[in-house]
Amino acid sequence: MRYIIIFSLLALFSCKQKDNTKEENLDITLIENIETDSTYIDNLLELEVPNYISKTEEKEFSIPFNYTINISQEFFPNKWNLCDLKIDTDSSNYKYQYFLGDNIPYKSYLSNDGILEIITTNDSTAITTDKFKKINSDSYRKIYFSDKESVIFKTKKGAIAVLFFKYLKEEKAYSIFYNENDNIGIEANENELLDISINQLRIAKNLYKKSKPTDLLDWDSFKNSLTILNKKVYKDIVNEILDASNSLGKDDIYTQKLYGNHNLISILKLDKEGINLWNALSKIPKNNPIEFETIYNTDLKDRISYFRSNHNFLKIEYQDENSFILKNQNSVYAVFVKTKINKKEVMLFTGSGMNYGEINSKEMAYFYMNLFKNYNDI
């Protein structure tokens, strides 16, 4: 998928640029289908979502609870021109390459949701929105949104692309984010793809901002930050979980398989062993990690991969009457919530099947806890 992103960059921008000496004679109003009503997009871009600070080797980024950002140890080859800036991974001014990923697999595969590149230059005006529109007017069909640092547009091939650029004065460098969203691997209409693109642009715009404190017990703040396709994923999972609850036997576990690869949520019909497990969770200390099998070691434990791991020293991150958020020594989380579905007492939880390790931030753990408590309000 990383190669797909870079290939898209090359295909879109590697064509011969127009003569800059003729730019002033171009009438920007001649560009086809520019949409000027951006109130809806503005509102989505200004939405405050639960963020956390992700620290890489060289930088810190503020990103949403369900995303990760990873630095490339070896650059994927990339050469393209963006306005007056030449971008070449073989050049000494090419400093960093990062990839953004959504931990909610709305696609049939885990993928990168964009590339972030840092390129040094003394020219703080090398990239502007007007330059992009004029120089690349033959590379897109429509512009959905633009401001002084970003453009959302439809490419000639029909993908909805996101471009964000910001000049970092202290570093004398451009930070450039780019991604294309299309129908590869998913069924999505234009509105859904545009929704993803707006979400990605909001992430890019907030990468360098300080994270504001958020109420991690506020379900609405989590729900409102999900894309349309994110919500579809969880609605499908919940519907299948609800159906499965009718046929579960005592202390049986059912894990919904998303696209056959991803196991995000499990349900356990509580009976004797399930209740014993719940009681054992209450014995885990809040501060000093304890090896869980010293207080609970049964067949049921062995059916939950989070408890089977080699890093089984656990402590409680959060606890209330019907919820536990656990954290192990590697800062991997699991969530357990006791509730009633179809008048049956059940436990919804993460960390079963193949989804061990999916929750690597406290904020993502709180999201799942809130989701379990509000499964009928997605």
Residues 109 and 179 in one domain: yes
In a domain, 11, yes or no: yes
DSSP string, 73-121: SSPPP-EEEETTEEEETTSTTEEEEEEEEESS--SSS--EEEEEEEEE-
Give residue 125's pLDDT: 95
Residues 320 and 265 in one domain: yes
Identify whether the C-beta of residue 5 lies closer than 8 Å to the C-beta of residue 180.
yes
Residues 200 and 227 in one domain: no
Residues 280 and 351 in one domain: yes
Q: Measured between alpha carbons, how far is 287 from 366 in angstroms, rounded to an integer?
A: 18
Give residue 1's pLDDT: 47
Give residue 260's pLDDT: 55
Give residue 277's pLDDT: 94
Give residue 11's pLDDT: 54
Q: How far is CA 250 from CA 265, 282, 303, 343, in A?
A: 18, 21, 14, 14
Prediction pTM value? 0.86
Residues 53 and 197 in one domain: yes
Give residue 33's pLDDT: 38
At residue 349, the 3 state secondary structure works out as strand
Give residue 6's pLDDT: 54
Q: How many structural domains is the chain composed of?
A: 2
Residues 184 and 290 in one domain: no
Residues 227 and 107 in one domain: no
Residues 281 and 148 in one domain: no
What parts of the chain have a pLDDT lower than 70? Answer: 1-37, 106-111, 183-186, 259-262, 309-311, 353-357
Identify whether the C-beta of residue 232 lies closer than 8 Å to the C-beta of residue 196.
no
In a domain, 10, yes or no: yes
Could you tell me the residue range of the domain that residue 127 belongs to? 2-206
Q: Measured between alpha carbons, how far is 84 from 17 in angstroms, rounded to an integer?
A: 10
Residues 170 and 199 in one domain: yes
Give residue 311's pLDDT: 60
In a domain, 135, yes or no: yes
Helices 190-206 and 228-245: crossing angle, nearest 10°?
110
Amino acid identity, position 178: Y
Residues 300 and 363 in one domain: yes
Q: Measured between alpha carbons, how far is 63 from 309 in angstroms, rounded to an integer?
A: 28
Residues 175 and 279 in one domain: no
Residues 161 and 264 in one domain: no
From the number of C-beta atoms within 10 Å of its C-beta (0-12, 13-18, 19+), residue 66 rates as: buried
In a domain, 191, yes or no: yes
- CA 129 to chain CA centroid, Å, is 26
In a domain, 378, yes or no: no
In a domain, 214, yes or no: no
Q: Dihedrals φ, ψ of 70, to 5°? A: -125, 140
The residue from 174, 206, 238 where one domain ends is 206
The residue from 176, 206, 236 where one domain ends is 206
